[in-house]
Amino acid sequence: MNYHIKDAVLADTGVLRTEWANQSMPVLNRVRERFEREKPLAGVRVGACLHVTTETASLMRTLKSGGAEINLCASNPLSTQDDVAACLVKEYDIPVFAIKGEDTTTYYQHIHSVLDNHPIITMDDGADLVATLHSQRTDLLKGVIGGTEETTTGIIRLRSMAEKGALKYPIIAVNDANTKHLFDNRYGTGQSTIDGIIRATNRLLAGSTFVVCGYGMCGRGVAMRARGMGANVIVTEVKPILALEAVMDGFRVMPIAEAAPIGDFFCTLTGDLRVITIEHFLSMKDGAIVSNSGHFNVELDLENLQDKATSRRMIREFVEEFILPNGRRIYVLGEGRLINLAAAEGHPSSVMDMSFANQALAVEYIAKKGQSFDKKVYPIPPEIDEEIAQLKLASMGISIDTLTEEQEKYIRSWEMGT
């Protein structure tokens, strides 16, 4: 088996951590049990580009149980858990190409290694696999029936490809399922981002001023959890409706130029580039701690920070100090890469349970129906979304009411008023 991982010796730790995560993934386990019986993915070659975590290991096992032949690479150079990569290779015979801290060249070589296996279904988190396939490996496109995409940033890229007629096969937008973005993006990013910042710095949030850039689902999760830890939270946002929501959720809202001189912590989650510029860095307080939890490492203008800095050094793992000409120290966490996966372990398993149940069911859906789809980005079918919510509630021991026949009839009618 061809693979490229840090060290196979790490497999034992990976097995234990993967088992631990899997205990909190009851919905995915239900899907896996069915896949084992029905083998809906028999012989389907899946090329996956995802964060290589304990939760991803459970997803890979599920697809394999369904009969899929999988190859996995990382969707970010800094998010791989090397013990999980080793566990997948050694314990589950799943080829992995991923090493934490790999450089950009190796990162793309790993994507090519996955593509070398001629996937007929792609699974992506950020659309780097799809972009590489559509730009450098176009010979493989004719063999692909469809793909799935995990994250907001990836969906934006893919929609732009579809609008320009560049997308050559259908994609299911896993991110857009309610059971994905309402939970993973908000509660998952909320908790894991704060976890990453605390693991990296060991600093107290209570009483600090914490600036959250972007009030999409991810930003609101971080703002909510930072407030829960006692921080005074400031939100910056470009969309008026989201900004208004932040105001009515009780946060201070202002432009980043006004927030820069008063923040102690900064975290970007916008999906866009140069949200924090060199002018903002120059106006920050001495000791400001700056991180990103958006998909790509483009939200902080690190190039200009590096250029302007009079010195830089690593203070502790994931904390780099830059001294500016004004004498102030700025601390950048995790190279400006998503801090929740760089310094912590990503979203907790219980929330990835729903995201990855969506992924598994989306792959099955594509395998069954992909051939009949147009070259567009499709939502997850609402029945799948609902089923996942129901299974999750059941796994939590929570039952809910159902409509009576009379109520059902009433909401479908228009005749009856007051």
**By C-beta, is 51 or 90 nearer to ligand ADE?**
51
Out of 100, 110, 295, 347, point to the residue binding ligand ADE (CB under 6 A).
347
Residue 195 interacting with ligand ADE (CB under 6 A): no
**By C-beta, is 60 or 231 nearer to ligand ADE?**
60
**For residue 147, how far is the Cα from the chain centroid?**
16
Q: Which stretch binds ligand ADE (CB under 6 A): 152-160, 167-175, 294-302, 345-353?
A: 345-353
- Location of structure tokens 């904390």: 319
Q: Which stretch binds ligand ADE (CB under 6 A): 48-56, 93-101, 239-247, 273-281?
A: 48-56
**By C-beta, is 196 or 263 nearer to ligand ADE?**
196
CB of 403 to ligand ADE, least distance (A): 35
CB of 53 to ligand ADE, least distance (A): 4
Out of 25, 55, 293, 318, point to the residue binding ligand ADE (CB under 6 A).
55
**By C-beta, is 70 or 305 nearer to ligand ADE?**
70
Binding positions for ligand ADE, 221-260, rule CB under 6 A: none
3-state secondary structure string across 314-377: EEECCEEEEECCCCCEEEEEHHHCEHHHHCCCCCCHHHHHHHHHHHHHHHHHHHHHHHHCCCCE
CB of 217 to ligand ADE, least distance (A): 13
Strands 329-333, 311-316: parallel, antiparallel or unpaired by DSSP?
A: unpaired
**By C-beta, is 233 or 351 nearer to ligand ADE?**
351
Q: Which stretch binds ligand ADE (CB under 6 A): 99-107, 220-228, 309-317, 339-347?
A: 339-347
**By C-beta, is 65 or 192 nearer to ligand ADE?**
192
3-state secondary structure string across the chain: CCCECCCHHHHHHHHHHHHHHHCCCHHHHHHHHHHHHHCCCCCCEEEEECCCCHHHHHHHHHHHHCCCEEEEECCCCCCCCHHHHHHHHHCCCCCEECCCCCCHHHHHHHHHHHHCCCCCEEEECCCHHHHHHHHCCHHHHHHCCEEEECCHHHHHHHHHHHHCCCCCCCEEEHHHCHHHHHHHHHHHHHHHHHHHHHHHHCCCCCCCEEEEECCCHHHHHHHHHHHHCCCEEEEECCCHHHHHHHHHCCCEECCHHHHCCCCCEEEECCCCCCCECHHHHHHCCCCEEEEECCCCCCCECHHHHHHHCCEEEEEECCEEEEECCCCCEEEEEHHHCEHHHHCCCCCCHHHHHHHHHHHHHHHHHHHHHHHHCCCCEEECCHHHHHHHHHHHHHHCCCCCCCCCHHHHHHHHCCCCCC
- Which positions from 351 to 380 touch ligand ADE by CB under 6 A, shown as an x/- string? -x----------------------------
Residue 191 interacting with ligand ADE (CB under 6 A): no
Out of 53, 76, 113, 153, point to the residue binding ligand ADE (CB under 6 A).
53
**By C-beta, is 174 or 288 nearer to ligand ADE?**
174
CB of 34 to ligand ADE, least distance (A): 22
Out of 22, 24, 29, 56, point to the residue binding ligand ADE (CB under 6 A).
56
Instruction: Determine the size of the site formed for ligand ADE (CB under 6 A).
Output: 10
**By C-beta, is 53 or 291 nearer to ligand ADE?**
53
**By C-beta, is 75 or 113 nearer to ligand ADE?**
75
**By C-beta, is 336 or 346 nearer to ligand ADE?**
346
Binding positions for ligand ADE, 256-315, rule CB under 6 A: none
Please report, as ranges, the residues that interact with ligand ADE according to CB under 6 A.
50-51, 53, 55-56, 188, 341, 346-347, 352
